[in-house]
Amino acid sequence: MVSVRSVVDRVGPTLLHALQLPDDCPAAGDVVIAEPGVPAGIAAGDLVLGVATVDPADAAELVRVSATQGAAAVLLKPPLAAKPTVRRAAKTAGIALIQVHSATSWAQLVWLLRTVLDALGDESESLEDGGDPGSGDLFRLADAVASVVDAPVTIEDTNSRVLAYSARQDLTDPARVATIMGRRIPDDVLARFRSRGVFRELSRGRQTIFVPAQRDGTLPRLIVPIRMGGELLGSMWAVVAGPVSEERAAAFADAAPVVALHLLRRRAHTDAQRRASAELLRAVLEGHAGQRRVVAELDLSDEPHRVVAIEVTGGDGRDAEGLRLALLERISQGIGRRPVATELGGLLYAVVPDGNAWADLRDALALQPASRRGGVPRAAAGAPVAVSALATSRTQADEALGLLRAGLVEGRVVAYEDAWTSLVLHRAATGSATARVADLGPLGLLRAHDETTKAGYVDTLYEWLRHPGDPRAAAAELRIHPNTLRYRMKRLLDLVPLDLDDPDVRLALLMQLVALRWS
């Protein structure tokens, strides 16, 4: 049983957008191109493509007829799909209405939809194995493209990571060998191509880009952008001996739409895995998932893990969202075979093994610069625990993050066990505040005096008690001269009689002041 929602999610928002998606719509089974006035060609479970439909009235009639025949969905291009009459017809008939990107080829969409239906029909086996059902096809496609252009080829994503490569790479140069070995273009080579404007040309939509040989021995490249629906999905790089004829370059470029379909399929598969992992991780953090399932499906090793709570502060809402997504992508690529990060309650949570993985993430977060609009991340990690206790580590991370928010802990990143003194004071203060301990005794007179005169007596008493016998240290915390500190202490004792020689009085006052400062 393949749902229409699964098909839309798998193909992705680049090509398909669901305008109407009833919860009880039939399962999708096949793809059919609707012929005007021939409803007999539509069967139950069909995805009906309105290829020849151009009039809103005809489109509405196609929707009604398709629903009568038990079809799963009707697919139309804009502006037809969004016409009020068409949308009303779909809502009344209770059938899914899907809008197809205007630049999409109907022929390519038919191929892609049937590929997706076949893949989803066998989804459980593929997901259980954890592999990408299209990865082998992509390597075979790289070989086919290499034969067309008569040169060794790599297929890369928009971050210059190698997704597949053809045979004959022994005929290339050290830069290509390093690219394949590291599964991405090395930084120094990347910088040279960037300085020559290669990536700027890719973003502009050039059909082919030729890069001449370089003085360091790097051979010429023929590059083709891979696009679908106006979106850049990646690129193909061929190492060539020199300038390429227009015929060969055109043949190389003609392969891009086919590669684009494979990249969309690959991305859809990855997105499906990521969504499933994110949902399971949310259940883990809320304590609703068993240890065996967590270890198996999230691919966690049998070692202590930490839950890290990450919050983006500053900037505007759009900037914060962009920074969260960038951090999520970085974490997902760097830890484990599958993503172990998710969003929950407006925060980003990551599960990382204790040790080097946590140290790397901590350094990355601490060094993360502010975005252009001022957004910066701050993060708190719970203590390392067994996988069965991840919900506990999440609670600890949330508590430590609260200290960062309140400015009770310095820096942008903190670990639960490193903040134990602050946690003790905060918990004690919270309990004391509930018991209203600060309302007892003469402290209220000092607080009232400070509110009217701004004399700062409460702060002065707090630092004096924190640094017994060391007026210089207390004065330094207040940024005043030690003589000023002594003068303030004399004046506050004239105002409020306190026996500061009594250790119980000092301890009681300190508890009251901690309750005020740390609650």
CATH code at position 58: 3.40.1390.20
Q: Does a structural domain hold residue 18?
A: yes
Q: What confidence score (pLDDT) does residue 21 get?
A: 92
Asked, for residue 216, whether it belongs to a domain, the answer is yes
**In this structure, is residue 428 part of a structural domain?**
no
CA 326 and chain centroid, separation: 6
Residue 269 forms part of a structural domain: no
Structural domain contains residue 61: yes
Q: Does any domain span residue 258?
A: yes
> Do 221 and 156 share a structural domain?
yes
Tokens 């709570």 sit on residue: 309
* CATH code of residue 208: 3.30.450.40
Q: 153 with 117, same domain?
A: no
Residue 289 forms part of a structural domain: no
Q: Looking at the structure, do residues 67 and 159 belong to the same domain, yes or no? A: no
Q: Which domain holds residue 451?
A: 435-518
Averages of pLDDT over runs of 10 residues in the chain (519 residues) are 81 79 88 72 88 88 92 93 94 94 74 69 46 60 84 89 84 84 81 88 83 88 87 90 87 84 77 71 76 67 86 59 60 52 81 83 74 71 88 91 86 89 83 79 85 87 88 90 90 87 86 80
Locate the DSSP E strands across 200-270. 209-211, 221-228, 231-239
**How high is the pLDDT of residue 48?**
92
Which residues are bridge partners to 76 per DSSP?
Answer: 99
Per-residue pLDDT at 293: 67
Same domain, 341 and 312: yes
d(CA 236, CA 197): 16
Judge contact between 305 and 350, C-beta under 8 A. no
AA identity, residue 486 = R
Which residues have a Cβ under 8 Å from the Cβ of 325 and sit 6 or more positions away? none
DSSP 457-472: HHHHHHHHHHSTT-HH
The 3 state secondary structure assigned to 12-30 is CCCCEEEEECCCCCCCECE
Are 66 and 177 within one domain?
A: no
Are 167 and 115 members of one domain?
no
| Residues 259 and 139 grouped into a single domain | yes
Q: Which two tokens stand for residue 127?
A: 């997901």
Domain count, the chain: 4
Cβ burial of 479 (10 Å; 0-12, 13-18, 19+) is exposed
Residue 292 lies in a domain: no
C-beta of residue 314 within 8 angstroms of C-beta of residue 375: yes
Please check whether residues 140 and 229 belong to one and the same domain: yes
d(CA 183, CA 41): 47
Residue 357: per-residue pLDDT: 79
pLDDT of residue 129: 47
pLDDT recorded at residue 178: 82
Are 177 and 229 part of one and the same domain?
yes
Residues 355 and 386 in one domain: yes
pLDDT of residue 127: 39
Q: What is the pTM of this model?
A: 0.48
Q: Which residues 6+ apart lie within 8 Å of 429 measured at CB?
A: 514, 515, 516, 517, 518, 519
Residues 406 and 442 in one domain: no
Element (H, E) at 310: strand 305-313
Place of tokens 């793809």: 31
d(Cα 16, Cα 386) in Å, to the nearest integer?
42
107 and 146 fall within a common domain = no
CB 220 within 8 A of CB 238: no
The rounded distance, in Å, linking the Cα atoms of 188 and 177 is 14
Give the DSSP letter of residue 301.
Answer: -
Which pair of structure tokens corresponds to residue 329? Answer: 């992508």
3-state secondary structure 402-440: HHHHCCCCCCCEEEHHHHHHHHHHHHHHHHHHHCCHHHC
Q: Which residue, among 34, 22, 29, has the nearest Cα to 76 in the 3D structure?
A: 34
Write down the pLDDT at residue 101. Answer: 84
Q: How many other CB atoms sit within 10 Å of the CB of residue 361?
A: 23
CA pair distance 223, 458, nearest whole angstrom: 70
